Amino acid sequence: MAVFLQNLINALQWGSFYALIALGYSMVYSILMLFNFAHGDIFMVGAYIGFGVSTALVALTAMGAFALPNWLILVLTILFSMFLTSFVGMIVERVGYRPLRDAPRASAAITGLMIGIILETGNLALLGAQRISFPPLIRTATYDLGGVYVTNKKIMIVVVSLGLALALHQFIRRTRWGMAIRAMAFDYVVVPLMGVPLNKMAALTFGLGSALAAAAGILFGVAYPVLDPYMGILIGWKAFVAAILGGRGSILGATLAGFLMGFIEIFVAMVFPSTLRDLIAYSIILLILVFRPHGFFGEPYSARLRL
Amino acid sequence: MSLSVANLHVSYGRIKALHGISFQIEEGEIVCIIGANGAGKSTTLRAVSRLVPVETGSQMSYRDKNLLEYPADKVVSELGISHVPEGRRLFDNLTVMENLQLATFARKDKAQIEQDIQRVFTIFERLEERQSQKAGTLSGGEQQMLAVGRAYMSGRKVMLLDEPSMGLAPVLMLSMFEALKEINQEGTTILLVEQNARLALQFAQRGYVLENGNIVLEGSSAALLADPEVKKAYLGG
């Protein structure tokens, strides 16, 4: 039982990363019908921006410019990096996707792959090949809950992720921008007839998704403090799987599927050798998709029409 | 001159949908475009709404403003030209109220929005009862009311209506046109496209006949209703 709970906590942590990244995939897909395959790399860029922001804040504190406690530096890092990374997402949309909005979907998909490579190699050119370490902002504290060990970092990661997913949900439920996102998910062709500017909506969606990916990147840096330019590839693909598994365009679905994938991976690793983890875990997910091809909350058919 | 369209050419790929049509609508008028399926009626409205690209040489203006300088959302929010699209295209996943509110996305006049929603509920009483229901659960008649109500909220200097009679029982059809007349009397200019030519010509003051992307005939509704060609082709003899 203790082993199970221990793994459950690990699964929640990994699920948090997948869920936060999957939300960005899902949202962009739901309103623009394209998968932003550069999204995993935006997670990477977010982690690096987080590294830059936190390093700067730590340095300024050390110089005595101001006295910030470490937890506040972390909070500021998350907020400021989310803000900055949202612009990276908006630039990607403006430069890479907007000119191709009426092009075949395959072109847009290829654009995403290319932007991904540009972000990875651009980072490599800028910062060199050495891995960099995320500043250790919070000291790990471990709590023993009857044989189950929980760290303050894990709790923080799960709480922040769930909080952000919930905030996004509220934004989409309650604001007029969110209402427009829901409308676009249903039928984006006629949304301009409501006086809604498509370009602003596209920028907003990319911005929000990228901000969440940045949060995931920083939380990842807190848990696994070594950053490298290719860190976003595998985790990005896995989050993409979560977005599909959740049902294209479903916020709740993407969040749940992200956590589910965390669970499947961790519990497979509990039973089988860890080298077989992804092989078995993704075979299971493939099986789920065979039986539920539209994911958990996806529409069985596209309600969207062309003009 | 309120809305003026000249030499409008539209193509879908290599298929030409409109071959340089021209028409004008005066402030406060009700004008209809009648024609068979595929004649280019919906394309005409989509071109005015800037939903489809037009070819060079096409001219469209509204109150001396060049429509080609406005993207689709600004045609609605800045020029006040709303569009009830073919097949209604409601957001089935939003409630009736949310559909109406979304249509005010770019509007800032909060108090007026509130009044307008009340006005929509006065014109279409059924919508008030159904306001918290999802649009997808409405009957066909109610959906058409919501589609018109939504256009009313988004902008109503001009309303473009694409087959508002489609799929409606005759009684509902008549009450829909009554409601449209009411909206027109408040000052909204109406451009209507219809396959139901008799109904459209009884409702409109003037009409254009569209055939294969060309306007082949135009005139007052009375003249068109009496025209032997129109009678033969569109009014069932």
pLDDT of residue A303 exceeding 50, the answer is no
Residue A300 pLDDT: 55
Average pLDDT for A1-30 = 92
- In angstroms, rounded to a whole number, what is the distance separating the alpha carbons of residues B214 and B21? 6
Mean predicted lDDT score pLDDT of chain A? 90
Does residue A103 sit at the B interface (CB-CB below 8 Å)?
Answer: no
B89 is written with which tokens?
């295209």
For chain A positions 195-234, those within 8 Å of chain B (CB to CB) are 195-198
Q: pTM of the prediction?
A: 0.90
Report whether A296 contacts A257 (CB < 8 A). Answer: yes
Residue B10 belongs to what H/E stretch? strand B3-12
Closest chain A CA to residue B85: A190
The upper half-sphere exposure of residue A167, i.e. CA atoms within 13 Å in the direction of its Cβ, equals: 11
| Cα dist from B111 to B104, B107, B116, B132, whole Å | 12, 11, 9, 21
CA angle B179, B180, B182 (to 5 degrees): 65
Residue B157 main-chain phi, psi, to 5 deg: -75, -45
DSSP string over A147-163: TEEEEHHHHHHHHHHHH
User: Which tokens belong to A165?
Assistant: 């997913």
What residues of chain B lie within 8 A of the CB of A183, using their CB?
A: 91, 93-94, 102
Q: Which residue has the tokens 């961790």?
A: A266
* Residues whose CB falls within 8 Å of the CB of residue B193, separated by 6 or more in sequence, listed in order: B32, B33, B34, B35, B41, B42, B44, B45, B161, B162, B163, B200
Specify the range with the lowest mean pLDDT, choosing from B62-76, B106-120, B160-174: B160-174
CB contact under 8 A, B101 and A179: yes
Residues of A in contact with B102 (CB under 8 A): 176, 179-180, 183, 194, 196
Put simply, whether A63 touches B (Cβ < 8 Å) is no
Kindly indicate the confidence band of residue A305, based on its pLDDT and cuts at 50, 70 and 90: very low
Task: Please report the pLDDT score of residue A217 as a whole number.
Answer: 97
Test mutation, A175, A189, A190, chain B, max B CBs within 10 A: A190
CA pair distance A125, A115, nearest whole angstrom: 15
Q: Are B86 and B134 in contact (CB under 8 A)?
A: no
**A-B contacts at Cβ under 8 angstroms:** 75
Write down all domains in chain A, each with its CATH number in brackets: 2-291 (1.10.3470)
Q: What is the pLDDT of residue A203?
A: 96
DSSP structure class, residue A97: I
- In angstroms, rounded to a whole number, what is the distance separating the alpha carbons of residues A39 and A18? 12
Q: Is the pLDDT assigned to residue A178 strictly greater than 50? A: yes
Q: What percent of chain A has pLDDT over 90?
A: 62
CB B146 within 8 A of CB B99: yes
Pairing status of strand B81-84 against strand B158-162: parallel
Mutation test of the interface with chain A: which of B12, B88, B89, choosing the one with the most A Cβ atoms within 10 A? B89
Q: What is the distance between the alpha carbons of residues B144 and B139, in angstroms, rounded to a whole number?
A: 9
Mutation site, A181, A193, A204, interface B, largest B CB count within 10 A: A193
What pLDDT score does B81 carry?
97
The pLDDT value given to residue B237: 65
Kind plus residue range of the DSSP H or E element containing B219: strand B214-220
Q: What is the pLDDT of residues A203-261, one digit of tens each?
A: 999 999 999 999 999 999 999 999 999 999 999 999 999 998 998 678 889 999 999 99
Per CB-CB distance under 8 Å, the chain B contacts of A189 are 51, 89
Pairing mode, strands B59-62 and B65-66? antiparallel
Given a cut of 60, whether residue B185 has pLDDT beyond it is: yes
Average pLDDT over residues B10-29: 95
Q: Which domains does chain B have, with CATH numbers?
A: 3-86+156-234 (3.40.50.300)
* Mean pLDDT confidence for A269-295: 88
pLDDT above 90: residue A185: no
User: Which chain A residues are Cβ-neighbours of B150 within 8 angstroms?
Assistant: 194
Asked if B82 and A193 come within 8 Å (Cβ–Cβ), the reply is yes
Picking from B102, B8, B24, the residue whose alpha carbon sits closest to that of residue B63 is B24
Q: In Å, how far is A180's CA from the nearest CA of chain B? A: 7
Q: How far apart are CA A162 and CA A175, in angstroms?
A: 20
Determine the distance in angstroms separating the CA of B113 from the nearest CA of chain A, rounded to an integer: 14
Q: How far is CA B167 from CA B85, B126, B137, B140, B161, in A?
A: 14, 18, 16, 7, 14
Shortest distance between the Cα of A250 and any Cα of chain B, in A, equals 13
- Residue A276 has which token pair? 């077989």
Query: Scanning every residue of chain B, which has its alpha carbon at the shortest distance from the alpha carbon of A189?
Result: B51
A189-215 in b/e form (b: 16+ CB < 10 A) is bbbbbbbbbbeebbbbbbbbbbbbbbb
Q: Are A253 and A296 contacting, i.e. CB atoms less than 8 angstroms apart? A: yes
Contacts of B151 in chain A (CB under 8 A): 193
- Mean pLDDT computed over every residue of chain B: 95
Cβ distance of B103 and A194 shorter than 8 Å: yes
Mean pLDDT over A67-75 rounds to: 90
Cα nearest neighbour of B107 on chain A: A195
Nearest partner of A168 among A188, A154, A182, A186, judged by Cα = A182
Name the least confident of A124-128, B64-68, B156-160.
A124-128
Closest CA to A38 of A120, A131, A132: A120
A71 Cβ neighbours under 8 A, 6+ residues apart: A137, A138
Give how far A186 is from chain B: nearest CA, Å.
6
For residues A15 and A245, give the distance between their C-alpha atoms in angstroms, rounded to a whole number: 13
Nearest CB to B105; choose among A182, A196, A305: A196
Token code pair at residue A182: 């829901």
Q: Is A182 on the interface with B (CB under 8 A)?
A: yes
Residues of B with CB under 8 A from a CB of A: 46, 49-52, 71-74, 76-77, 82-83, 85, 87, 89, 91-94, 98, 101-107, 150-151, 154-155
Q: Tell me the CA distances in angstroms from B190 to A14, A144, A192, B141, one per residue in order.
A: 57, 73, 20, 20
Share of chain A above pLDDT 70, in %: 97
Report d(CA A103, CA A108) in Å as an integer.
7
According to DSSP, the β-strands at A148-151 and B15-25 are unpaired
Residue B72 has its nearest CB partner, among A176, A179, A193, at: A193
Label residue A62 by pLDDT band (50, 70, 90).
confident
Interface contact flag, B87 A305, Cβ < 8 Å? yes
Q: What are the angstrom distances between the C-alpha of B20 and each of A301, B44, B64, B69, B230?
A: 38, 11, 20, 19, 21
